[in-house]
Amino acid sequence: MYKRMMSISGPILGTWAHPDDEAFLSAGLMADAIGAGQRVVCVTATRGELGVQDPDRWPPEKLAEIREAELQESLRILGVTEHRWLDYLDGSCHLVDEEEATSRLAEIIEEVKPQNVLTFGPDGMTAHQDHMAVSRWTTLAFERSAPEGSRLLYATKTPDWAARFVPLMLSRHILMEEDADPPVTPHHELAVSFDLPDDLMELKTRALLAQESQIGAMIDVFGHDVVWEVNRVEYFRLAATR
């Protein structure tokens, strides 16, 4: 495993909506922390059973099982050994009792005592209702239970990134909502801007490829090189501190 200077300090807790969210937005940060001997815990709210890309190849009735196995392999590649499911239904997180979900995440925060909590911003990155619900739960749980000195970090992009890649995504109908661009944060306001070195980018690439039922369609549309370029830098803004 890699012995690196940490891009962010641990323990690290990531809270996400679906399998693959964690890899797209934070695979490099997780692997970097693991390589530095820090604890990393990943929470996933749903098994992503509605994320059907190719129903012939990935039957909808088996997709939850498929994505569970893909996530396990992806995390294994990154070296992440601690994972928790919330087991909510894909596409229904906005209908979950907010207090229940918040309490469950608060309990995990109390147990892990993370120094950094990674999640979506209120925008959900892609305006997905599940993403936005996870952001709300995590923010409330952080306010309730985060240890002193910890940070809540929201995934974001930069204006330069958006200018370069959003038109391409719109032209290929990739964004969840075409009138809801990904959030952007100026470089000087970022808490994390992690341009993955080649060794970590190789790990991230393998972790994403392990989630074949999801990444395959993107590669078919853009090609490998563009997909890796889009995802090479991981950006987070500071949302709150304790």
Q: Is the pLDDT of residue 176 over 60?
A: no
Q: What is the mean pLDDT of the chain?
A: 92
Residue type, 236: F
Q: Which residues contact 190 (CB under 8 A, 6 or more apart)?
A: 156, 158, 235, 236, 237
| Predicted TM-score (pTM) of this structure | 0.94
CB under 8 Å, gap of 24 or more: what pairs does 24-28 form?
24/208, 24/231, 25/118, 25/125, 25/155, 25/234, 26/118, 26/155, 26/234, 27/74, 27/78, 27/203, 27/204, 27/207, 27/208, 27/234, 28/194, 28/196, 28/200, 28/201, 28/203, 28/204, 28/234
Q: Is the pLDDT of residue 179 over 80?
A: no
| Mean pLDDT along residues 122-130 | 93
Q: Per-residue pLDDT tens for 35-59?
A: 999 999 999 999 999 998 888 888 9
Where does 146-223 have alpha helices with state H? 159-171, 198-210, 212-222
Q: How confident is the model at residue 224 (pLDDT cuts 50, 70, 90)?
A: confident
Domain boundaries of the chain, sorted by first residue: 12-241
Q: Is the pLDDT of residue 6 over 60?
A: no
Third-level CATH fold of 12-241: Rossmann fold (3.40.50)
Q: Per-residue pLDDT tens for 87-109?
A: 999 999 999 999 999 999 999 99
